[in-house]
Chain A
Amino acid sequence: MATLDDVAAPKAKRKLTGYWLILPGALWLAVFFVIPFYSLISTSLFDPKGSVLTGYDMTWHFSNYVDAIDQYKGQIWRSLWYAGVATALCLVIGYVLAYAIAFKAGRWKNLMLVLVIAPFFTSFLLRTLSWKLILADDGFVVDALQTVHLLGDDGRLLATPFAVIAGLTYNFLPFMVLPLYASLEKIDIRLIEASSDLYASPLRGFLKVTLPLSMPGVVAGTLLTFIPAAGDYVNAQLLGSPNTRMVGNTIQSLFTTQGDYAAAGALSVTLMIIIVGAVLMYVRTAGTEDLV
């Protein structure tokens, strides 16, 4: 009997230790991440007649959503569309890089991985500003495209959807490469060798073996790229024009310059719901549930 207690006692103590260790962090996230969603939802139902100065009345104003979606559906669509294209581009470019690092880099693997995250070492805004220079009207990219007549003489890249998508693709590429690399790296190379031993062409081997095995990375990378891209407004602001405003631009200006909290809240909740819905649908189709 005594032995049973001896075993049980430290275990119970250990259980409590776990709680104590996680408590401060969990509390921080509960108060400053979970509860704010509640505040956001209640803000989105405020009477829109209020203002930051006079305060808002809670009137369960569900029509805020109808109004916000109706007024800003263009920006919402544009965000999803730009983020979708940028994610697809990231997937293609990122897969090549992740594949090269996982299977072809040899002893340069670690160096290449550091280089993947190295852009994070300097400011996100400055890198985005650099794109403004690269895509400028008298820049070399526009010149080159005009020379080969892919772009008209007065054609431009800056302030077009192209520039915004280019910026999004560039900025979120590492979020695609890292999960792709992580899942490619886990693949048993013998499986790929086996497919070629069994006379599969390299392409067939890739499509039938490597690609399916890397699906968890594809799903994780796609989500980690699409979600921040859909909510981003820095690229649209620095590289785009008023015609390329995304939903993030609108939410930001409704909150900070126009002070229309009710509409901003409704739009923000709408964005979150769309993203959660898209993520659930995507994960279900892609069939990967162990993302965390």
Chain B
Amino acid sequence: MNTLTRAKRWIGKHLILGLGILVLIYTFVPIAIVVLMSFNDSSKSRNVYKFQQFTFDNWLHPGRWADGMLDSVMLSIYIALCATVIATILGTLAAFAMVRHRFVGRKAANIIIFLPMASPEIVMGSSLLALFVAAGFGGQLGFWTILIAHVMFCLSFVVVTVKARLSGLDDNLEQAAMDLYATEAQTFWRVTFPLVLPGIVGAALLSFSLSFDDFIITNLNSGQEVTFPMFVYGANQRGVPMEVNVIGTAMFVIAITIVLVGELARRRQEKALAA
């Protein structure tokens, strides 16, 4: 009986882990397909989204890339960079206010910051469009309106990410710096800021990927501009060029590399601190 329960437990333990890993594998199947399709030769029949023949051409000849795709990628990168810088700065300031300061209206601020994360994109996007049209900018939708929208929805995620890091901080370290006669500014730049920095970097990466990948809000507020997700969406109607998967794969590899490098740096730092 003892061995039976033990066997049961072993199965129980590994069954759940196994199922969890299966779920993870499931989430990676579509990504594997993106990678696979980036090596697909679709020159014979362009309107079938199906693997036909292996080729390196999609990667090797960017010059043959579909019309407008590279422009859409550049636009998306540019918008994502601008939105990330603005949202990260504003969001970090707000996170400091929320964690370090008590002021009237703090609860209201908390709700306003939370709401964009819990609102459907289609509603936020159409509200913004209604505002732009009402304000007389209906004819000037484009870069600026996309940027405004992206900063809006990235902000909340920055605040939440930086807030989490900031509230997990050990204030003894700052106390110690002050006890050792560091001024307030020195304490901030030498102790607080470096400790919060990983949170800020994480928030910036999150903003960049949210902005780069946004479709629903962007589609409503972009006027004539075409971002990369909009390019893919439009291409779906005429037959998807395989080159979009090259961009998708490259994005994935770059992002994974950044995460791995960050993790390695963190481990090295931890080791250095422990030694």
Contact B152 A29 (CB under 8 A): yes
- Residues of B close to A96: CB separation below 8 A: 16, 19-20, 23
Contact B20 A97 (CB under 8 A): yes
Interface string of B81-102 (1 = CB under 8 A from A): 0000000001101101110111
The verdict on A112 contacting chain B, using a C-beta distance below 8 Å, is yes
A32 to B135, CA, bound (A): 12
A52 to B223, CA, bound (A): 13
A173 to B26, CA, bound (A): 11
B34 CB, nearest partner CB in chain A, Å? 5
Number of residues of chain A lying within 8 A (CB) of chain B: 89
The verdict on B148 contacting chain A, using a C-beta distance below 8 Å, is yes
Contact A268 B127 (CB under 8 A): yes
Contact A18 B101 (CB under 8 A): yes
Please report the number of residue pairs spanning A and B whose Cβ atoms sit closer than 8 angstroms: 269
Contact A28 B90 (CB under 8 A): yes
Q: List the 10 closest pairs (A to B, CB-CB), nearest first.
A: A100-B20, A231-B120, A18-B101, A36-B127, A130-B30, A121-B255, A21-B97, A25-B94, A22-B97, A130-B33
Write 26 A-B pairs (CB below 8 A) sorted by A numbering: A19-B103, A29-B156, A32-B128, A33-B115, A33-B152, A43-B130, A96-B16, A97-B23, A97-B24, A100-B20, A100-B21, A114-B259, A119-B28, A122-B31, A122-B255, A123-B213, A123-B232, A123-B244, A125-B233, A127-B30, A134-B30, A170-B26, A202-B12, A231-B121, A232-B121, A268-B122
The verdict on B226 contacting chain A, using a C-beta distance below 8 Å, is no
Contact A33 B123 (CB under 8 A): no
Nearest CB in chain B to that of A32: its residue:
B152
Contact A265 B130 (CB under 8 A): yes
**B55-63, B174-182, B214-222 - interface stretch:** B214-222
A90-125 contacts to B (CB < 8 Å): 93-94, 96-97, 99-101, 103-105, 110, 112, 114-116, 118-125
- Residues of B close to A265: CB separation below 8 A: 126, 130
Q: Quick one: which of B19, B90, B101 contacts A14, CB cutoff 8 A? A: B101
Contact A133 B49 (CB under 8 A): yes
Contact B123 A268 (CB under 8 A): yes
The verdict on A2 contacting chain B, using a C-beta distance below 8 Å, is no
A74-103 contacts to B (CB < 8 Å): 93-94, 96-97, 99-101, 103
A269 to B119, CA, bound (A): 12
A43 to B14, CA, bound (A): 56
Contact B118 A227 (CB under 8 A): yes
Nearest CB in chain B to that of A202: its residue:
B12
Nearest CB in chain B to that of A270: its residue:
B123
Interface string of B222-233 (1 = CB under 8 A from A): 000000110011
- Residues of A close to B37: CB separation below 8 A: 130, 133
The verdict on B159 contacting chain A, using a C-beta distance below 8 Å, is yes
Contact A130 B151 (CB under 8 A): no
B interface majority secondary structure: helix
Q: Given A33-B116, A40-B126, A118-B256, A105–B17 Cβ distance below 8 Å?
A: yes
Q: Given A25-B155, A202-B12, A292-B111, A124–B215 Cβ distance below 8 Å?
A: yes
The verdict on B29 contacting chain A, using a C-beta distance below 8 Å, is yes
Contact B252 A122 (CB under 8 A): yes
The verdict on A34 contacting chain B, using a C-beta distance below 8 Å, is yes
Most A Cβ at <10 Å: residue of B98, B130, B240? B130
Residues of B within 8 A of A (CB): 12-14, 16-17, 19-21, 23-24, 26-31, 33-34, 37, 49-51, 90-91, 93-94, 96-98, 100-103, 106, 109-124, 126-131, 133-134, 138, 148-149, 151-152, 155-156, 159, 209, 213, 215-216, 219-220, 228-229, 232-233, 236, 240, 244-245, 247-249, 251-252, 255-256, 259, 263
The verdict on A261 contacting chain B, using a C-beta distance below 8 Å, is yes
A9 to B151, CA, bound (A): 35
Contact B23 A40 (CB under 8 A): no
The verdict on A24 contacting chain B, using a C-beta distance below 8 Å, is yes
A159 CB, nearest partner CB in chain B, Å? 13
The verdict on A223 contacting chain B, using a C-beta distance below 8 Å, is yes
Contact B17 A264 (CB under 8 A): no
B241 CB, nearest partner CB in chain A, Å? 12
Q: Given A33-B116, A97-B20, A130-B29, A25–B90 Cβ distance below 8 Å?
A: yes
A103 to B265, CA, bound (A): 27
Q: Given A36-B130, A202-B12, A251-B126, A129–B252 Cβ distance below 8 Å?
A: no
Given contacts A18-B101, A233-B216, 17 further A-B contacts (CB under 8 A): A14-B101, A18-B103, A21-B96, A32-B149, A33-B127, A34-B112, A43-B133, A43-B134, A122-B249, A127-B34, A173-B23, A231-B123, A237-B236, A255-B129, A268-B123, A269-B123, A271-B120
